[in-house]
Structure 1
Amino acid sequence: MRDAEKTIGNLIDKQSVAYISSIDDDGFPNTKAMLPPRKRENIKTFYFTTNTSSMRAAQFRKNPKACIYFCDKRFFRGVMLIGNMEVLEDSRSKEMIWREGDTMYYPKGVTDPDYCVLRFTASKGRYYSHFKSETFSIEE
C-alpha cells in the first residue's frame, strides 16, 4: 500500500457503520456495530459517542484494549485497527463532538451525565483488499 493514511482514511470516511470490540470480564472479545466516528485524527485517533452507563464503557474502563473495524462491502475490503480505548467525560471532549440532534440520545444535552466520549488510539492495523492482507504500524 503506497499511502496507508490516504487509502485507509478514504475507506473509513465512506462507511456508515464502525465495529468496535472490547474485552469482557471472562477475557472474550465483544463486538458491536456503532455509528461512525464523530471525529478522526489521521488513522490514529478516533472519537465516538456512547452512553456512560453502557456495558461497552464499563468494559473499556476495566480493560482499555480495543479494536475497531471498517468494512467496504461493495469492494470487499476492510481495515482493522488495534489499540486502546479511553472513556472521556470532560466537558471539552463532550463539546468537541456534540452535534445538533444528539438530544435524541442524550436528552439533558451536552452535560447529560449519561453522555460520554470514547477515544480510540491505534497502535497498528491490518488492511484487506484484493484477496490479500497487509499489517502496518501507526506512526506517532
Structure 2
Amino acid sequence: MYQQYCQSCGMPLDEHNHGTNADGTPNEDYCIYCYKDGRFMQDMTMEQMIDHCAQFTDEINRQTGQHLTVEQAKEMMRRSFPLLRRWKHWGETDLMKKAERLLAECPTVTIASINAEGFPRPVPMAKGDTEGCNTVWLATGADSVKVADFRRNPKAGLCYDKGGSSVCLRGIVEIIDDDDTRRQKWQDWYINHFPGGPDDPNYTLIRFVGTEATIWIDHEFAHLTI
C-alpha cells in the first residue's frame, strides 16, 4: 500500500492524523499537527520546521529502527523537505536568494561562447553590474573574439563559485553598444581597458541573462528554470 507523508513535516499519514480543510473534511496532504481548519498551524521557515521536528529524533528512531543523532536527522530532513509540497517553492526561492548573494561576493565569472567550430569557449571575466542571480553585465572589446562568437550565436553559459558553492547558468547574450547604456553602465576601473572612457569606440557591453540554473550551495543541489 502506498504510504502518504505530510507535505509539511514528513510524518507518515494514516486515517487518524490527517489535517482538516476549512469545511472540516480531511486534508489529503497535511497532518493535524501542521494543518487545521484550512490553514497551517505554524508560521515558520523550512529550517525552523526542521529544528522543530528534530526534537522528536528519539521517536523517529523508535519508529524506523534507525540510530540517528539529532544532527543526522536534521541533515536527512534538509535533503527531503525541499521535495515536500509546502517547501518546494520556498526552497527554490531561498536557494536563488543564496545564489544572488554568492554572485555579489564573486568579483569574476566565467562566460562561455560557442565558437565557429561549435566548441564552447570559456573565458574568465571581471563582472560589472548584476541583477538577481542570473543577469550579469560585462564590459569587453568590440573587436574581441567573444563578441564575434555571440553575434553569430547568442547562446551562452556562465558560472561563478566561491568556497565550494557554485552556480552554473545557461542563457542568452545580448551585445549592447548604444551610447546611453554604455555611459550608464560605465565603471571607473574600465578606464584601464578603454582609455577613451565611456565613448571609447571599442567599449562594448555584454548582457547575459540565464534561464536555467544548476545550483550547489550549502549542501543543497537543484536544477531550476528561472
Q: TM-score, normalised by structure 2?
A: 0.57
Q: For residue 132 of structure 1, report the CA deviation from its aligned partner.
A: 5.9
Once the two structures are TM-superposed, the CA of residue 20 in structure 1 deviates from its matched residue by 0.4
- Deviation of 1:101 after TM superposition, in Å, equals 3.6
Given the alignment, which residue of 120, 143, 155 partners 1:65? 155
Q: CA deviation at 1:131?
A: 5.6
Following superposition, the deviation at residue 85 of structure 1 comes to 0.5
Query: In the aligned structure 1, how far is the partner of 2:100 from the partner of 2:218?
Result: 18
Instruction: Confirm or deny that 1:114 pairs with 2:202.
Output: yes
SS in 2 for 1:86: strand
| C-alpha separation in 2, matches of 1:77 and 1:100 | 29
Equivalence for 1:80: 168
The one-letter amino acid paired with 1:19 is T
- Corresponding pairs, count: 135
Matched residues, percent identical? 26
**Amino acid corresponding to residue 63 of structure 1 in structure 2:** N
Q: Which has the higher strand share?
A: 1
Q: Residue 132 and residue 28 in structure 1: after superposition, are their counterparts in 2 closer, same or farther (change >3 A)?
A: farther
For 1:110, the aligned partner's letter is P
After superposition, what is the alpha-carbon deviation per residue over 1:84-127, rounded to whole angstroms, capped at 9, x for unaligned? Answer: 01111001221121122422211111111100000011111010
Q: How far apart in 1 are the matches of 2:100 and 2:219? A: 20
* Deviation at residue 42 of structure 1 after TM alignment: 1.6
Give the unaligned 5+ runs of structure 2.
Answer: 1-90
Say which SS state the counterpart of residue 20 (structure 1) adopts. strand
1:60-98 Cα deviation digits (max 9, x unpaired): 0000000110011x2x11001110011110012211211
Matched, 1:21 2:109: no
Equivalent AA in structure 2 for residue 135 of structure 1:
H
Higher Rg of the two aligned structures = 2
Q: Which amino acid in the other structure matches residue 88 of structure 1? A: I
More helix by share: 2
RMSD value over aligned CA atoms?
1.5
The amino acid across from 2:222 in the alignment is: E
Structure 2: distance between partners of 1:9 and 1:65: 22
Partners of 1:132 and 1:45 in 2: CA distance: 21
Between the two structures, name the one with larger relative contact order (CA 8 Å, sep ≥ 6): 1
Q: Select 2:185's aligned residue among 88, 92, 97.
A: 97
| SS of corresponding position for 1:47 | strand
Secondary structure of 2:188's counterpart equals coil
Matched, 1:50 2:128: no
Q: Structure 1 unaligned runs (5+)?
A: none
